[in-house]
A and B are shown apart, each in its own frame.
Chain A
Amino acid sequence: MVILEILNNMKNILVLLFVFGILSCSSEKETEVKPDKVSNDFKFNDLKKEFLADETIVFISESKINSIDLLPKLVVTNSFGTIIVGGEIANAGVQYSLPKIITRKIGLVDWKLVDESIVLQSGTFEILPNISKKNGLESYFGPRSISAGDIDFSMLVVIPSDVYDNPVLDGTTVELRYQFENDVTDVPLETDDLIAWYNVGAPHKSGRILVTALCNGVKSKELTSIVFPANATTFKIDYTRDHAYADGNQIIRFNTSIIKDEFGNVISDGTLVSFTAVNTKGIQLQAVGLSIGGVAIAKMLHPDKKDTWKVKAYVTGAAKSNAINVSFKTAFDDYPVNISKDNRRIIVGPITSFMNQLAPDGLLVRLAINDSDKQRIETKVSTLQNGKVMYYLDPDFYPDGNYEIEIKSAGIVKTYNLNLDGSTD
């Protein structure tokens, strides 16, 4: 059995050996027979070190080579990539002319003359921008909205280029011109690191800056930057109202003075101004207004009881106003309360206001009901309608007994002791 296995294996090994033998034979390297090698003294005539973009660049060698297949290859690398240029046989010798993708792109160009992976000759030349023809001028301006004052600015960056879209040489003059209102300013610039740039500082006045640049006779398009007013400064507020009574019905209007920035520019329309009123209880009321023409207006409802407000306005994060006090007189000193015979129906009113007119609808009237131990049972809240409010103490909820009721409206509190005795009317 074992012997059989060994024999089997030997067979396998023999087959493998055979196959391996064939493989190793076939993979043996074929020695290449080269026809007539190009001699190592194949040399180009001296070449210029600098060319202008789109100038014809031809490598010429006087070496005599008869077959185009034998010509060494010229490997050329510029800023963007590498190509191979094949030679041509001319009368005088051999020449290699570089294609436009090389001659039109500025920057250093490396070349290597290669034959069968051997570098015969190598060198570098530079292509310079060609500004003899009309050129291009790309301009970038930003930020496009700035605020007046000495801090903010818009930056103009221009990239002058030649007609083949190559940035021009450093040190090229660029004329920058900017206008604000009636002033036109010229700034001479020079390119550096492929670009020229200038910070147009914001004037103290709001408005619009126009910028343009000029290079080699080519003008850029007009670019603008809007100068917005700077931050608001301290302002004043005032109010108007129809009367001083705390009737919970009329509206008080607050307005700011014309809000300006530190340079006297009226702040931008739409600036949010928030008005804060603090009443005698320390509760804050708030209203907001957007400025138009520097003035912001906000409205609030009169309180329904005597009160004094301390009002202040803010442009959040920028400015605040003076504080003003606004007092409201009480609209009425007293009001009648009628209680039915069975003490279950309570009518508050008619409440008359400062001119003996009926107090406006919606005035809050609160009725609190305590039991005989002064424990609160219920608070009923209702609003005035036609000068009156009616409450009914339902026998299903309020069985006979002694109760104390407390009526409150416009800050005036009236207390009654009621005896609900079940005698119906």
Chain B
Amino acid sequence: MAARINRNIYRGILILSFLAVNGLILFGISSVLSYLNTGADRTSMLHLEVEREDVYLPNVTWEDLQNPGRPLEKQTQGEIERDYLSSWYVKNIAYKTNDYYGVKDYYTDSARVKVYKTIDYNLAHNINLNTTTLSHNLSLDFYSADGKLAVVEDKNVVSFKEVFEADKMVLQERDTSSYKAILLLEDGFWRIRHLKKIINDTVAAQEKVAIDYSNIKNAKGLNYYPKDSPWNMFGKKFNPFTIHLDFELIKKMGMNTIRIFVPYEAFGKASIDYEKLDQLKRILDIANKNGLKVVVTLFDFYGNYDVSDWTITNKHATIIVNALKNNKALLAWDIKNEPDLDFKSRSSTTVVNWLKQMIVTIKNEDVNHPVTIGWSSPEAATLLVNELDFVSFHYYKKISDFEKDYNKLTVKSQGKPIMLQEYGLSSYSGLWNFYKGSEVDQADYYKEIQPILLKNNIPFLAWTLYDFKEVPSEVAGSLPWRKNKQHNFGFFDINGKEKSSYNYFSLQKNKKGE
């Protein structure tokens, strides 16, 4: 009996090892074959055009194409622009890494030596530059008859650079310089032959437009996401009808303002998703119909801030700002939600520099609407007061400290309007807060804070209209005690029923209830 079992075991082992060896052999052969099949793909024979990735998109304008040589063809103009900008891009990268890579494609033999020498010097002295250019104003001085030489003037190039020595920042500056460049067409590339820094053109200072702050000062409202698609209201989940009903409801509550968010990546970064942009316009139109003003918060879920990414974010902002700047419902631009929370991971200087330049970019495009930043706390809100048109802060701390904190901020706000852009209390009650929260607590919170806000004429935007069934983990992280709280900040529960906080928040006293 035992011998038979033994024999069966041996058989089993034999069969299994046979199968295993076969499997291994097959696996080996197939991986050799698949290795041999890698590399030259048949389509590579077609030399299909390689798609250029958007890595560097400074704002470029052409002023003047008149030149005594040959009329510039549209095609060549595009090529000159592309290669000239590439010359800046490769140079920026080369100085960042102190590596020659790419320089020879966009500088002629004699010109590249000058770049190389600078790289060598910086390498020897442990210097790195983190540079980008934000705008170029090109004009053509000369284009030769045979189409192989062009002299281009690039006026008032706005650039930003961070200069590091031994990884320590020595200087950061925003700079405006002008250049004259001779470009030669070599091997199909327009390459820099000479580059000479010249005197800037004097630019007429932009006329300051007086912004009307009355709507900011009287803003009463809340942060808005639809009930069923929080943090994800664009694209397939966009539902104008729901939004219309919600806006009606908000108006009925006696509110006049909402704050919405434009997710950066979902909107396609620099190559804007125009379908979503249309939806955004639609939201503002619906708001306008319902007599609501809108604070548009840009760059939601953005977190890079690096100098090399500036032109991409600028392009994104420029397109959105231009699409909405004439919309009557637009109240203000909020550059980013709680950027101060990224100070730890991205360094405060990087974030603040990005914000600073973004303020300038947006104001360049739209002089009529005020610009703010939704700081996460009254302490952070003292940053960039000079540059911003009004101060926004979020408050999730104890109400008892509110007036003290607010007064402190008033002192530092240089008389600019201050908006309480987010506040509220979650009615979440569960394991993660020991069943401590409740709708009653939430109602009490509003019962207490609303009179303070109204008494001090503080514009406010509460968080938020609805309780949410689902909260993406990008919003509050995946820690359950944080995430769960996010579900229950609304004045209406997930079934759309009024919670008791509603009565203390709504300015229109409840007609049906009482």
Interfacial residues, chain A to chain B (CB-CB below 8 A): 5-6, 9, 13, 27, 73, 75, 77-84, 86, 99, 101, 105-110, 112, 114, 117, 119, 140, 142-144, 153-155, 157, 159, 161, 165-167, 193-195, 197, 199
Q: Which of B110-118, B256-264, B387-395 contacts A (4 or more CB under 8 A)?
A: B110-118
| Docked pose: A108 CA to B91 CA in angstroms | 19
| Docked pose: A84 CA to B118 CA in angstroms | 11
| Docked pose: A153 CA to B144 CA in angstroms | 12
A84-B170, A194-B182 known; A79 and B118 CB under 8 Å?
A: no
| Docked pose: A194 CA to B145 CA in angstroms | 17
**1/0 per residue B157-178: CB within 8 Å of A?**
0000101010001111101010
| Docked pose: A153 CA to B146 CA in angstroms | 10
Q: Are the C-beta atoms of B170 and A155 separated by less than 8 Å?
A: no
Set of chain B residues within 8 Å of A108, measured between Cβ atoms: 177, 197-199
Q: How many residues of B contact A (CB 8 A)?
A: 51
Set of chain B residues within 8 Å of A167, measured between Cβ atoms: 182, 194, 196
The verdict on B211 contacting chain A, using a C-beta distance below 8 Å, is no
Q: Are the C-beta atoms of A142 and B431 separated by less than 8 Å?
A: no
A-B contact pairs, 17 of them (CB 8 A): A80-B114, A80-B115, A81-B95, A81-B122, A82-B129, A83-B121, A107-B196, A108-B198, A142-B145, A144-B146, A154-B145, A157-B142, A165-B114, A166-B194, A193-B142, A193-B180, A197-B68
Q: Are the C-beta atoms of A195 and B169 separated by less than 8 Å?
A: no
Residue of B nearest to A72 (CB): B170
Residue of B nearest to A81 (CB): B118
User: Of A75, A143, A159, which one neighbours B145 at CB under 8 angstroms?
Assistant: A143
Q: Are the C-beta atoms of A110 and B199 separated by less than 8 Å?
A: no
Set of chain A residues within 8 Å of B194, measured between Cβ atoms: 159, 161, 166-167, 194
Give 4 new A-B contacts, CB below 8 A, not counting A109-B197, A159-B194. A101-B117, A107-B196, A117-B170, A194-B196
| Docked pose: A353 CA to B432 CA in angstroms | 120
Set of chain A residues within 8 Å of B115, measured between Cβ atoms: 80-81
Set of chain A residues within 8 Å of B142, measured between Cβ atoms: 157, 193, 195, 197
Q: Are the C-beta atoms of A143 and B110 separated by less than 8 Å?
A: no
CB-contacts of B44-80 with A (<8 A): 68-69
Set of chain A residues within 8 Å of B169, measured between Cβ atoms: 117
The verdict on B81 contacting chain A, using a C-beta distance below 8 Å, is no
The 9 A-B pairs at the shortest CB distance, nearest first, are namely: A142-B146, A155-B145, A107-B197, A81-B118, A79-B197, A193-B141, A107-B196, A108-B197, A101-B117
Q: Are the C-beta atoms of B69 and A101 separated by less than 8 Å?
A: no
Q: Are the C-beta atoms of B163 and A82 separated by less than 8 Å?
A: yes
Q: Are the C-beta atoms of B195 and A80 separated by less than 8 Å?
A: yes
Set of chain A residues within 8 Å of B170, measured between Cβ atoms: 73, 75, 84, 114, 117
Q: Are the C-beta atoms of A142 and B144 separated by less than 8 Å?
A: yes
| Docked pose: A81 CA to B163 CA in angstroms | 11
A75-B171, A83-B125 known; A195 and B182 CB under 8 Å?
A: yes
Set of chain B residues within 8 Å of A78, measured between Cβ atoms: 197
User: Of B129, B141, B175, B434, which one neighbours A110 at CB under 8 angstroms?
Assistant: B175
Set of chain B residues within 8 Å of A194, measured between Cβ atoms: 151, 180, 182, 194, 196
Q: Are the C-beta atoms of B146 and A155 separated by less than 8 Å?
A: yes
The verdict on B512 contacting chain A, using a C-beta distance below 8 Å, is no
A6-B431, A84-B127, A117-B172 known; A101 and B182 CB under 8 Å?
A: no
Interfacial residues, chain B to chain A (CB-CB below 8 A): 68-69, 91, 95, 110, 114-115, 117-119, 121-122, 125, 127, 129, 131, 141-142, 144-146, 148-149, 151, 153, 161, 163, 165, 169-173, 175, 177, 179-180, 182, 184, 193-199, 344, 431-432, 434, 481
Q: Are the C-beta atoms of A112 and B198 separated by less than 8 Å?
A: no
Set of chain B residues within 8 Å of A83, measured between Cβ atoms: 118, 121-122, 125, 127
| Docked pose: A369 CA to B15 CA in angstroms | 86
Set of chain B residues within 8 Å of A154, measured between Cβ atoms: 145
Set of chain B residues within 8 Å of A193, measured between Cβ atoms: 141-142, 151, 153, 180
A78-B197, A117-B170, A159-B182 known; A101 and B141 CB under 8 Å?
A: no
| Docked pose: A161 CA to B125 CA in angstroms | 30
Set of chain A residues within 8 Å of B149, measured between Cβ atoms: 140, 157, 195
Number of A-B pairs, beta carbon distance below 8 Å: 126
A79-B179, A99-B121, A167-B182 known; A117 and B148 CB under 8 Å?
A: no
A6-B434, A193-B180, A195-B182 known; A105 and B114 CB under 8 Å?
A: yes
Residue of B nearest to A5 (CB): B431
User: Of A27, A73, A81, which one neighbours B129 at CB under 8 angstroms?
Assistant: A81
Set of chain A residues within 8 Å of B182, measured between Cβ atoms: 159, 167, 194-195
Q: Are the C-beta atoms of A84 and B125 separated by less than 8 Å?
A: yes
| Docked pose: A101 CA to B114 CA in angstroms | 7
| Docked pose: A155 CA to B67 CA in angstroms | 14
Residue of B nearest to A79 (CB): B197
Q: Are the C-beta atoms of A81 and B432 separated by less than 8 Å?
A: no
Q: Are the C-beta atoms of B172 and A84 separated by less than 8 Å?
A: no
CB distance from A7 to the nearest CB of B (A): 11
Set of chain A residues within 8 Å of B193, measured between Cβ atoms: 159
CB distance from A38 to the nearest CB of B (A): 14
Q: Are the C-beta atoms of A153 and B145 separated by less than 8 Å?
A: yes
A142-B146, A193-B180 known; A79 and B110 CB under 8 Å?
A: no
A6-B431, A106-B196 known; A114 and B151 CB under 8 Å?
A: no
| Docked pose: A82 CA to B175 CA in angstroms | 12
Set of chain A residues within 8 Å of B129, measured between Cβ atoms: 81-82
Set of chain A residues within 8 Å of B117, measured between Cβ atoms: 101
| Docked pose: A83 CA to B131 CA in angstroms | 13
Set of chain B residues within 8 Å of A79, measured between Cβ atoms: 179, 195-197
CB distance from B69 to the nearest CB of A (A): 7
| Docked pose: A109 CA to B196 CA in angstroms | 10
CB distance from A250 to the nearest CB of B (A): 51
Set of chain B residues within 8 Å of A77, measured between Cβ atoms: 175, 177
CB distance from A166 to the nearest CB of B (A): 8
Set of chain B residues within 8 Å of A80, measured between Cβ atoms: 91, 114-115, 118, 195
Most B C-beta atoms less than 10 A away, residue of A84, A110, A143, A195: A84
| Docked pose: A153 CA to B163 CA in angstroms | 49
Set of chain B residues within 8 Å of A157, measured between Cβ atoms: 142, 144, 149
| Docked pose: A281 CA to B151 CA in angstroms | 62
Residue of B nearest to A143 (CB): B146
Q: Are the C-beta atoms of A140 and B144 separated by less than 8 Å?
A: yes
CB distance from B60 to the nearest CB of A (A): 19
A27-B344, A81-B91 known; A199 and B145 CB under 8 Å?
A: yes
| Docked pose: A119 CA to B68 CA in angstroms | 43
Set of chain A residues within 8 Å of B145, measured between Cβ atoms: 142-143, 153-155, 199
| Docked pose: A195 CA to B194 CA in angstroms | 11
| Docked pose: A194 CA to B354 CA in angstroms | 36
| Docked pose: A109 CA to B177 CA in angstroms | 10
CB distance from B160 to the nearest CB of A (A): 12
Residue of B nearest to A106 (CB): B196
Q: Are the C-beta atoms of B432 and A165 separated by less than 8 Å?
A: no
Q: Are the C-beta atoms of A9 and B165 separated by less than 8 Å?
A: no
Set of chain A residues within 8 Å of B175, measured between Cβ atoms: 77, 110
Most B C-beta atoms less than 10 A away, residue of A80, A159, A195, A197: A80
Residue of B nearest to A16 (CB): B479
CB distance from B120 to the nearest CB of A (A): 8
Set of chain B residues within 8 Å of A109, measured between Cβ atoms: 197
| Docked pose: A304 CA to B399 CA in angstroms | 115
Residue of B nearest to A27 (CB): B344
| Docked pose: A155 CA to B194 CA in angstroms | 20
Set of chain A residues within 8 Å of B131, measured between Cβ atoms: 82
| Docked pose: A106 CA to B114 CA in angstroms | 12
| Docked pose: A194 CA to B32 CA in angstroms | 60
Set of chain B residues within 8 Å of A9, measured between Cβ atoms: 431-432
| Docked pose: A82 CA to B69 CA in angstroms | 34
User: Of B127, B151, B177, B431, which one neighbours A195 at CB under 8 angstroms?
Assistant: B151
| Docked pose: A256 CA to B69 CA in angstroms | 40
CB distance from B127 to the nearest CB of A (A): 5
Set of chain A residues within 8 Å of B69, measured between Cβ atoms: 155, 197
Most A C-beta atoms less than 10 A away, residue of B127, B131, B170, B175: B170
